[in-house]
Amino acid sequence: MDLTQIFQTRNPVIGVVHLLPLPSSARWGGNLREVIDRAEQEATALAAGGVDGIIIENFFDAPFTKDNVNPAVVSAMTLITQRIQNLVMLPVGINVLRNDALSAMAIASVCQCQFIRVNVLTGVMATDQGLIEGRAHELLRYRRELGSEVCILADVLVKHARPLGTPNLTTAVQDTIERGLADGVILSGWATGSPPNLEDLELACSAAKGTPVFIGSGADWDNVGTLLQAADGVIVASSLKRQGKITEPIDPIRVQNFIEAARQGFANPPDLKTLSSMKLR
C-alpha cells in the first residue's frame, strides 16, 4: 500500500465521519436528510481542518449486527459516500460496522473509494455481538471478482473485543498481513478513545516489515506527535469532536489543532532515549 500515492503524504491523518443512525438501525429517526446534512458538515469540517483522508462509518447504528447489515444501510452509505465525494477532494474509505467487510468492499468499489477498514479480517474475536470470525478468504476473492483495487486496512486484536486464546501481537500482525493479505494494519487501545501503547506500536511496526501501521483510536493533540513516531498514520474521531465528546459534531478548530500537533511531531521527533522513556496514558 503506497501511502504517498493515495494520500499525498507518507504519514496520513484520516478523519472519521460518524453517520447518524441509518434506516433499519435501532435508533433510526426516520429522516435521511438529517443524516446526510450532518455527514456533509463533518466531511467539510475535516477537509477544512487539513486531514489527508476521510473514512465513513455507521457508528451510531449500535447495537451492531455481527456481520451482514440490512440492505438499507448499504444503500444509505453508498448515497452518502457519493455526496461527500462531491464535496471534498480527499481519499475516502468505508467501514461497515460491526464487520460487514463485503458490503464495505461493494460500496467502496462502486464509489471508487481508496480503502476500507475491517475490524476482524483473520482469527476469532469475542465481542458484544458474539463471536466474530475473520472471513479474509471471502473478502479477497470478492475484491478479485469485482476487479477492484480498494485497499484493505485491517484491525489487529480490535478494540471492544477479546481474542479467543492468548495470541502474540507479533504473530497476529504477521498473520493479518501474510495470511489475510491486508494492505495495512490498525492498532487500537481497548476501547473507543483509548490509545495503543507505544511498545505495542513498535512491536507491530517491526512485525509488519514495511506494511503500513495505523493508530486506530485514542490519538489527541497531546499524544499524537509521540504516537506517530512508532506508526505510519492515524485514524482519529473522538478528539476532533466539540468538547471531545463522541456524540458531538466535528469541530474544525480541533481538527486544525490536531493536524498541527501531528505535523509538529514529524518535524521535531524526540530522540530515541526520550521516546522509549515516555509513558502515554
181: pLDDT strictly greater than 90 = yes
159-178 residue pLDDT tens = 676 778 667 899 999 999 99
38-78 residue pLDDT tens = 999 999 999 999 999 999 999 999 999 998 999 999 999 99
**Confidence at residue 244, expressed as pLDDT on a 0 to 100 scale:** 87
Q: Which residue has the cell 455481538?
A: 129
201: pLDDT strictly greater than 60 = yes
pTM to 2 decimal places: 0.90
Report the CATH number that the domain containing residue 93 is assigned in CATH: 3.20.20.70
14-28 residue pLDDT tens = 999 999 999 999 999
Strands (E) located in the chain: 13-18, 53-57, 92-95, 115-118, 124-127, 130-133, 151-155, 161-163, 184-187, 213-215, 233-236
278: pLDDT strictly greater than 50 = no
Q: With the C-alpha atoms ordered 118, 201, 50, 250, is the resulting torsion angle positive or negative? A: positive
Domains identified in the chain, total number: 1
Instruction: Give the residue, 195 or 159, on which the prediction is more confident.
Output: 195
236: pLDDT strictly greater than 70 = yes
Confidence of residue 277 (pLDDT cuts 50, 70, 90): very low
| Residue 178 structural domain | 3-277
Picking from 99, 169, 190, the residue whose alpha carbon sits closest to that of residue 136 is 99
Position 70, amino acid = N
274: pLDDT strictly greater than 50 = no
**Confidence at residue 269, expressed as pLDDT on a 0 to 100 scale:** 53
List the single range of 35-49, 75-89, 185-199 with lowest mean pLDDT: 185-199
Buried b (16+ CB within 10 A) or exposed e, 113-149: bbbbbbbbbbbebebebeebebbbeebbebbeeeebe
- Tell me the pLDDT of the chain averaged across its residues: 90
Cα–Cα dist 194/192, whole Å = 6
**Confidence at residue 279, expressed as pLDDT on a 0 to 100 scale:** 41
Confidence of residue 276 (pLDDT cuts 50, 70, 90): very low
Confidence of residue 128 (pLDDT cuts 50, 70, 90): confident
